[in-house]
Structure 1
Amino acid sequence: MNRPLPTSPAGRDHQLAGKKIAWITGASSGIGAALVRRLVAEGHFVIVSGRNRDALLKLQQPSPKLIKVLTCDVGDDAAMVEAGRALAEITDQLDLVIACAGVCEYEDDLELDVKRYRRVFDANFFGVVNTLRQALPLLANSRAPVFVAVGSLSSVVGFPRAEAYGASKAALSYFMDSVRADTSRVRLRTVLVRPGFIDTPLTKSNDFDMPFLMSPERAAERILRGLSGNASVIDFPRRLSWPLRMLGVLRPVWYKLCAPRMTRIRKLRNT
């Protein structure tokens, strides 16, 4: 039995045309913005979200008919409930959701500032949970729904100074594995993307070498290429992902040989 066409203009028009309706969070810059540009170039309808409304409006300008702006903070539970209501007014189905929103804050001298950890987890972990929660009812109306979360290769092994950031991405990795298990008998594809270093506003302030630094445009290309296949995890670049995955198995090598060369801590604080 064929499912009725969506009743919203966006859903009906794009299903008839064989195009997708996508929602991308963290779309104001970096990978998110690059993904929006690529999807729109292919004729897909994209709802873009982020905290920087001006940047989102600028992204919308070249293609106002294919881009809808929905300003929200994924880490704000109440704001995401409102975002869910707004989504339902825009469309009654989502074919593709890509959770790109995230922040990065590093540890210095193991200060263990709990507020820092909460900020990072609110964006990188709870933000994805909030996004999936609001997207699920609309993904359920798609014939081939896909939910994508952008993690990080930093979750493969423990990097110095990355206690907050890496832990949030490791939690996200486990969350996506569990969602994949829980949806194994229903029609929902879940994909975890784990990029290396990408040249974005988040990495501009990094004060260390970033091997194999990649542009957002190349990262977006790798993600969409991976989504065209059947992968549940998309890691790139391979020159970084394969060594890290190997070291993730051979953890003693990482902590005895690699980590001591990278850490900046030489003694514990006693105050």
Structure 2
Amino acid sequence: MTVKTVISSKTILITGATSGIGLALFNHYSTQGYYKVIACGRDAKKLALLSNRAYKTCLFDLNDADDIKQQLADIDDIDIVILNAGDCRYIDDAKHFDGQLFSDIISTNLSSLGWLLQYTLPKIKKGGQLVFVSSSATILPFPRSEAYGASKAGMDYLANSLRLDLLKENIDVTLVHPGFVKTPLTDKNDFTMPFLITSDEAAKRIISGVEKRKKYLHFPKRLTLLLKFFSLLPSSLWQAIIAKRDKT
């Protein structure tokens, strides 16, 4: 862990800060002088590149509870925690279900949140914020997304439930549903991603929503509102649309 002395008003902790949306969030917050940014990631080389601009860097694997505990041990008060880190892999053959892949994604995207919350929530100040970066994939079921979708749906429930229990602690919870965002993860996708936006644009929208203390963010709306509309249709109709798409 590296530490940099900065005089500032707010401390922000970001997981998955070395790439994609997390890196874009780090870049925006760290250039604003008003924030002390704690950058968390599992890639030592990439994290080292952020050390000059970060208040602290924390190196840990999401699936290593002891690692998380050790790296976050000497962090005191936090104003905003942004739980952004995660992985995306697909079930390519549902009939021959890949249980190990499913378990890995659930562990990385969902189970790890329990340890992160255990070691960050007690440090969030009264009036602080907790931000979950989920996915618009939870609005509607998609083919091959059994593992990723299930993990993010679990995150949604966790965020919405915590919002109720944290009212008495005066801690706001924001749930974020991004659409397709260009990141190293989505670069691996082999299908069309409509209304794709940059990580920088996604970060700006998240920062704006956090500043307004919104409970729920979804973007770009031309995609998410379309998905919400489709979710109101009879499931048989949506399945027919998906089946037709898979044949093209």
Q: What TM-score results when the alignment is normalised by the length of structure 2?
A: 0.92
The share of aligned pairs that are identical, in percent, is 33
Question: Structure 1 CA distance, aligned partners of 2:61 and 2:42?
Answer: 6
| 2:155 alignment counterpart | 172
C-alpha spacing 1:112/1:145, structure 2 compared with 1 (3 Å)? same
Please report the RMSD computed on the Cα atoms of aligned residues, expressed in angstroms. Answer: 1.9
Deviation of 1:213 after TM superposition, in Å, equals 0.8
Partner amino acid, structure 1, of 2:121? L
CA-to-aligned-CA distance 1:102-138 (integer Å, 9 cap, x gap): 0011011213211101110111111222212110111
CA contact (8 A) 2:88 2:148 kept: yes
| 1:6 alignment counterpart | none
Question: Structure 2 CA distance, aligned partners of 1:137 and 1:235?
Answer: 28
214, 222, 229: which one pairs with 2:212? 229
Question: Structure 2 CA distance, aligned partners of 1:249 and 1:174?
Answer: 20
C-alpha spacing 1:254/1:187, structure 2 compared with 1 (3 Å)? farther
| 1:68 alignment counterpart | 56
| 1:95 alignment counterpart | 79
The residue correspondences of 1:1-271 to structure 2 (distance < 5 A) are 13-14=7-8, 19-43=9-33, 44-61=35-52, 63=53, 66-85=54-73, 89=74, 91-110=75-94, 111-139=96-124, 142-252=125-235, 255-263=238-246
Runs of at least 5 residues in structure 1 that lack an aligned partner in the other structure? 1-8, 265-271
Q: What TM-score results when the alignment is normalised by the length of structure 1?
A: 0.84
Question: Structure 1 CA distance, aligned partners of 2:203 and 2:82?
Answer: 11
How many residues matched? 243
SS in 2 for 1:149: strand
Deviation of 1:253 after TM superposition, in Å, equals 5.9
CA contact (8 A) 1:22 1:97 kept: yes
Runs of at least 5 residues in structure 2 that lack an aligned partner in the other structure? none
Question: Structure 2 CA distance, aligned partners of 1:10 and 1:234?
Answer: 33
Q: Select the structure that is richer in strand.
A: 2
Deviation of 1:145 after TM superposition, in Å, equals 0.8
Question: Structure 1 CA distance, aligned partners of 2:246 and 2:156?
Answer: 24
Partner amino acid, structure 2, of 1:196? G
Question: Structure 2 CA distance, aligned partners of 1:32 and 1:238?
Answer: 21
Question: Structure 1 CA distance, aligned partners of 2:193 and 2:51?
Answer: 31
Larger radius of gyration: 1
C-alpha spacing 1:123/1:131, structure 2 compared with 1 (3 Å)? same
CA contact (8 A) 1:160 1:262 kept: no
CA-to-aligned-CA distance 1:17-46 (integer Å, 9 cap, x gap): xx2101100011000010011011111111
Deviation of 1:179 after TM superposition, in Å, equals 0.6
SS in 1 for 2:195: coil
Question: Structure 2 CA distance, aligned partners of 1:112 and 1:133?
Answer: 32
SS in 1 for 2:188: coil
